[in-house]
Structure 1
Amino acid sequence: MLVYGTRIDQFCLTTVETMEQLNLNNELTGKTALVTGGTKGTGKAIAFRLAQAGARVIVTARNQPEVPAPGTTFIAADLTKASDARNLADRIREAFGGIDILINNLGGSATPGGGFKALTDQHWDETLQANLLAPVRLDREFLPHMLERSAGCIIHIASIQGTLPLYESTLPYAAAKAALINYSKGLSKEVSPKGVRVLTVSPGWIRTDAATRMMERIAQSSGTTVEDATQSVMDSLGGIPMGRPVEPEEVAELVGFLVSPRANYLTGTEYVIDGGTIPTL
């Protein structure tokens, strides 16, 4: 995979070298972090970034990753199920005593195109379970320990679709992310006075491996190039002034800063990383 004309492993090496120059590679030493959906895409990039900063990182997803992020521990869980969320929390408390950082990254949309008529109750329920209720459950599991210590940081990974919904196929996803943003703000007002920071990160279109494969399929089916397919998606979003999707590593770098001691005064805020896609204030 290419990033700015370089391979992703070269990008990560450059990131590590930069962190060492800034003396940031140990700023999370002694901290334990949980990254949901942390086996691929943005979640994997976030897990790698936190591990490089010295954190002990636990990643969870339904399936074991083929190539786990370096320096991480994997625990399987389907967080759309309340029982799996409880079991995951119990295993983490037993093995690690608790966590200092919670990255609620799990999410996505698998609903069909066709607008509101194509969406069933099941589509809505599955989307809400993954994108809203899974974070709510994990916050409920891990917040009490954070509040006891008057320390901790929770990041909710939302989406610009929370304020820029696309009705054709992702309306439930957009609605769930809007609810997550609202919930995150409300939770921050409750727990920030008690020492726990809560923040939201809302990316635009991310160039994950899955997104790249989708562009390849679109290009093949339409007889165009991957570049043309990518441009068509950007056009459907109203354009991206930066001229490209955001890279997972760029989202991870923002998250890495927000959970660090350098961001200790930041809470209750949504951080948009979309290359200027949202056209309004």
Structure 2
Amino acid sequence: MTVVPRFKTDPTEFLGKRVLVTGGTQGAGAAIVQRFAAAGAKTITSARSEPRSGAGTDLFVQADLATLDGVERLAAAVESTFGGVDILVHCLGGSSTPGGGFAAATEEFWQQELNRNLLAAVRLDRLLVPAMVLQGFGVVLHISSIQHRLPLHESTMAYAAAKAALASYSKSLSKELGPKGVRVNTVSPGWIMTSAADRMVKRLAQSGGTDEETARQGIMEALGGIPIGRPAWPEEIAELVAFLASDRAASIHGADYVIDGGTIPTV
């Protein structure tokens, strides 16, 4: 397996910028927080689990952003501490629906996936983006998934549908906010080497009565393979996010950037 990449970072690239990353205590979210912190940003994150020590976070708000109350508490904390944000990265996401296809996705699971993967972003945008509009600049990045274009069914049908809705919402939002100085883009990763991915493998192995390697291979086969031969590292996702949030990407708006090692087989 390829070693974790190390990238050179300009410590002044985001100096003084207020950056909020949801779901920033694990996986790609944690890597994104660390990337912005290393570039001089004031970083804020929120999740149900606390960040690891030395995670580079200036403000952490422990909250369940799949609930309206959690989103409102986060927005209030951000406003009172920093007066708003300049860059908003919606990294919260994931699936906890068991294997078994559409029949296993009960009403409870559907609502859970929609709240986590779509409505958390919609609600937080509604509370924090108006201040970006007033200041005349800002960046909003929605982390979707290649499953909004290449959906799977075994345990992520509801997740894929929610991420498809997020991508559509993001495009709509970009048309409204672009003329007001706020850039909006979507990042759609494929399979990422995270603890959440490991948990999904274990869940599929258990529900399928098989071992983890078989479950992992099943995911690879369902995706049609990954031409570069591996999932992405969280640090690679963070680099793309940092680029899109930077002035180097000042004319990139309303776009969906896929980072999947070539998984999607079509143009």
Question: TM-score by structure 1 length?
Answer: 0.88
May I ask how many residue pairs the two structures share in their alignment?
A: 264
* Contact in 1 for aligned 2:44/2:57 (Cα 8 Å): no
Q: How far apart are residue 27 of structure 1 and its match? A: 1.3
Q: For residue 70 of structure 1, what is the amino acid of its counterpart? A: G
Cα shift readout 1:120-140 (whole Å, capped 9, x = no counterpart): 111110100000000000100
Partner residue, 2:161: 175
* Structure 1 spans left out of the alignment, 5+ residues: none
Give the % identical residues: 53
Partner residue, 2:38: 52
Partner residue, 1:40: 26
Give the one of 197, 219, 231 matched to 1:211. 197
Mapped to 1, the partners of 2:198 and 2:113 lie a distance apart of 22
* Contact in 1 for aligned 2:24/2:51 (Cα 8 Å): no
Cα shift readout 1:151-208 (whole Å, capped 9, x = no counterpart): 0000000000001111111110000000000000000000011000000000000011
Cα shift readout 1:245-280 (whole Å, capped 9, x = no counterpart): 011000000001000111111110000000010111
Mapped to 2, the partners of 1:112 and 1:251 lie a distance apart of 26
Partner residue, 2:2: 4
**RMSD, aligned CA:** 2.0
Q: How far apart are residue 70 of structure 1 and its match? A: 2.4
Mapped to 2, the partners of 1:223 and 1:188 lie a distance apart of 43
Q: 1:274 to 1:26 in 2, by over 3 A?
A: same
Q: 1:223 to 1:76 in 2, by over 3 A?
A: closer
Mapped to 2, the partners of 1:231 and 1:116 lie a distance apart of 21
* Structure 2 spans left out of the alignment, 5+ residues: none
Give the one of 140, 143, 147 matched to 2:126. 140
* Contact in 2 for aligned 1:150/1:195 (Cα 8 Å): yes
Partner residue, 1:184: 170
Mapped to 2, the partners of 1:257 and 1:136 lie a distance apart of 23
| 2:96 matches 1:110 | yes
* Contact in 2 for aligned 1:47/1:72 (Cα 8 Å): no
Question: TM-score by structure 2 length?
Answer: 0.92
